[in-house]
A and B are shown apart, each in its own frame.
Chain A
């Protein structure tokens, strides 16, 4: 046997080993997701008779109707969207403005301001829960979606400022100076030059912040009280109380709650992964 064919054999074995190991890992990871999707499509009687772990003996989409209408998931999903979309837009707009000012101009104390803002985001939210719930009571927004939007923006903005600042700082000075010579004011420089150049970072951060805000539970149950105003995460816990051990309905609810972020992930996977790394370059 020649040395060449041994090498080929060894490489084939390595490839097979890799796919075996990585494949097993992927299956292990996807199994819980498959379980919940399958469960959401089974009837209650089927699960009661055969158990959660058995192969399905029935097929129904009725669970989704139950979760969606009777379980109040429709309203909860709308609430979540009403909070998440404005939050993402406003947080990123504010953060981009601050990052622009701090990275492109000699604002007094700019380093201190930058780190102060980042530091606010790193605080454990627990220290803020009680005062924030009292504050929203005091200004009359307790148990309303604007309270949740406000706190999500205030708490999130520091982190995005920091990331965008790093990104904008790397844009060469000459571009801006050319614009100044052409008579552009700060707004035009921001809007027509710096923002377009920051697009990749903005895309990454929006994908990331969408999932973070959409998935939040702690802030929601801190500033909201009424069931009708709860976002999807809190509603899912409510669903679990309402349909105790009706795993088919609870699974359908989980699928509904996970669908938007999974859709964002599948659509913007590249941006999403980039966003996590952007955040880590600190």
Chain B
């Protein structure tokens, strides 16, 4: 986007300028209103609720009688909460598996489909199409695949692997992994698009130079492509961590965290604690844990945005 700014010669006398770019302008009231109205909308629906959320985490509340302040009681309870431990471990597993695999496979598909060949647009669109599906619709499709008499088991029968037949979503050992697959099916195309854009931005002269120096395809990947993708990697990493911690729809529509909390993530546990068990204080405390986990990523995101913004 910087290309839009024409290069101009430095003026002989620098006019008085504010810290920002461009000459200092009086800010008309209309312009102030332009900022304040959206800010107000966000303040009402986001900033104020967020502050309340942090406060509610310190209370015990059933949603009917007024919240009772209990300090760090909710967090003490968490320490001994078996389900919380499962959900936390599953969330980390989700982060590593869902995050790691979608980054890896997204990069791999991008490397494959970056070549400008005939028909490549179709392949890209095919991988990308699931991105527009709602996770609910995605989940239902995969539920049909995972049924005891579903497509996956029929497939296993057909190739003579009857022994592997499973009630994939009803088995505590497989439920979480069975939920990750549809999430990946949908996410890989998204990550691929980010990497495709990154790959497109690499100067072809770098490859030419590497070729002249006799670098093999693997060496070019290792020493040219990957280092050049560093900024995209940072973006992908942030997207993945934030998406992982937000992941809710796909788990909720497939298993609701079950069976026996085996596919419980912090986000599903938070939702069911708050809105089904009506333990709003404890639910808020779980939300704070999710926030703390996301906080590092949010900060690094903002630091980068800060650098970009000026």
Contacts and interface: CB of A to CB of B under 8 A. Distances in A.
Nearest to A109: B35
Given A105-B31, A265-B131, 16 more contacts: A26-B126, A29-B185, A35-B144, A95-B38, A98-B37, A115-B305, A124-B291, A126-B266, A126-B291, A127-B50, A129-B283, A157-B41, A186-B28, A217-B136, A280-B239, A282-B301
Given A265-B129, A280-B194, A35 B39 contact: no
A115 B302 contact: yes
B193 interface: yes
Nearest to B293: A124
Contacts of A86: none
Interface stretch (B146-154, B171-179, B202-210): B146-154
A225 B294 CA distance: 29
Given A25-B109, A167-B1, A186 B30 contact: yes
A23 B118 CA distance: 12
Contacts of A111: 306, 309-310
A107 B32 contact: yes
Interface in B217-243: 232, 235, 238-239, 242
Contact of A107 (B27, B38, B298): B27
Contact of B42 (A157, A169, A247): A157
A170 to B, nearest CB: 4
In order of increasing CB-CB distance, the 5 nearest A-B pairs are A154-B45, A131-B49, A215-B134, A26-B126, A53-B154
Contacts of B84: none
A232 B253 CA distance: 13
Given A32-B185, A36-B141, A166-B1, A126 B109 contact: no
20 contacts: A22-B120, A35-B141, A51-B154, A52-B150, A105-B25, A118-B302, A127-B50, A127-B291, A130-B56, A131-B48, A131-B49, A153-B45, A157-B41, A233-B134, A233-B136, A250-B144, A261-B132, A277-B193, A280-B239, A281-B308
Contact of A217 (B112, B248, B266): B248
A68 B165 CA distance: 34
A214 B135 CA distance: 11
A101 interface: yes
Given A98-B35, A111-B309, A126 B25 contact: no
A218 B136 CA distance: 11
Contacts of B12: none
Interface string A134-166: 110000000000000011011101100110011
A214 B97 CA distance: 27
A101 B109 contact: no
B197 interface: yes
Interface of A: 15, 18-19, 21-23, 25-26, 29-30, 32-33, 35-36, 39, 51-54, 94-95, 97-98, 100-102, 104-108, 110-111, 113-115, 117-135, 150-151, 153-155, 157-158, 161-162, 165-167, 169-173, 185-187, 190, 211, 214-215, 217-218, 221-222, 232-234, 236-237, 240, 245, 247, 250-251, 253-254, 257-258, 261-262, 264-265, 269, 272-273, 276-277, 280-282
Contacts of A114: 305, 309
Nearest to A93: B38
Interface residues of B, number: 111
A261 B34 contact: no
B183 interface: no
A162 B133 CA distance: 25
Nearest to B120: A22
Contact of B149 (A29, A52, A157, A234): A52
A161 B38 contact: yes
Nearest to B151: A53
B160 interface: no
Given A98-B38, A170-B2, A254-B140, A215 B133 contact: yes
A124 B245 contact: yes
A261 B186 CA distance: 14
Contact of B132 (A131, A217, A265): A265
A36 B123 CA distance: 20
A52 B154 contact: yes
A206 B3 CA distance: 24
Contacts of A166: 1, 308-309
Nearest to A180: B25
B69 interface: no
Contact of B38 (A97, A126, A265): A97
Contacts of A153: 41, 45
B64 to A, nearest CB: 11
B231 to A, nearest CB: 9
Interface string B268-306: 001100110000100110111011001000100110111
A234 B38 CA distance: 28
Contacts of A123: 46, 50, 291, 294, 298
A236 B137 contact: yes
B117 A126 contact: no
Interface string B106-141: 000100110101011011011111111111110011
